[in-house]
Amino acid sequence: MSENKTRDAGFDEWLDAAEEGEAYYLECANGHGSLPPRRVCPDCGATDLETVDLPDSGTIETFTVTHVPTPAFEEDAPYATAVADFGPVRITGQVVGADLETVENGLEVEIEVTVSETTGERVLGFSPV
């Protein structure tokens, strides 16, 4: 399926899992979390990473609203891009299924893989729980 797209292969697999409701993260022996396609812990350099189920929901830690996007996302604007805290990992995604006025720090969200209206490519999204 995505064999000839090696660039983001690890992340594509992760999106597949997330779409099935089986999102996961990678944890090293020291308990640091990271996301594919990493193969090395960004905090301590450990290479022995275990796959652990991601918590079902996280909370928005910070977000920005884009009204004038780059051409690649022009059909999607305006939209909010948020960093959500899922405990061991922070994940960046596009907020979907919510009025922009209701997006705020501390909002509880779950991962929802969505498709960019502009490029037709899959995008990591967050929807309010």
Residue 44 is a binding residue for Zn ion (CB under 5 A)? yes
Q: How far apart are CA 16 and CA 9, in angstroms?
A: 11
Question: With respect to Zn ion, which residue has the nearer C-beta, 28 or 124?
Answer: 28
Annotate each residue in 23-42 with x if it binds Zn ion (CB under 5 A) or - if it does not, as one string: -----x-x-x--------x-
24 close to 54: Cβ distance less than 8 angstroms: yes
Stretch that binds Zn ion, among 2-10, 46-54, 88-96, 121-129 (CB under 5 A): 46-54
- Least CB distance from residue 34 to Zn ion, whole Å? 8
- Phi then psi for 100, rounded to 5 degrees? -60, -30
Structure-token pair, residue 119: 């490029």
Min dist CB 99 to Zn ion, Å, is 38
Indicate the length of the chain as a whole number.
129
91 in Cβ contact with 84 (< 8 Å): yes
Taking the complex as a whole, the smallest distance from the CB of residue 37 to Zn ion amounts, in Å, to 16
**Binding-site string for Zn ion from residue 72 to residue 111, where x marks contact by CB under 5 A and - marks none:** ----------------------------------------
Residue 73 backbone class (left: φ over 0; alpha: ψ -120 to 50; beta: rest) = alpha
User: In whole angstroms, what is the distance from residue 57 CA to residue 34 CA?
Assistant: 16
Closest distance of CB 87 from Zn ion, Å:
15
User: Which residues lie near Zn ion (CB under 5 A)?
Assistant: 28, 30, 32, 41, 43-44, 46
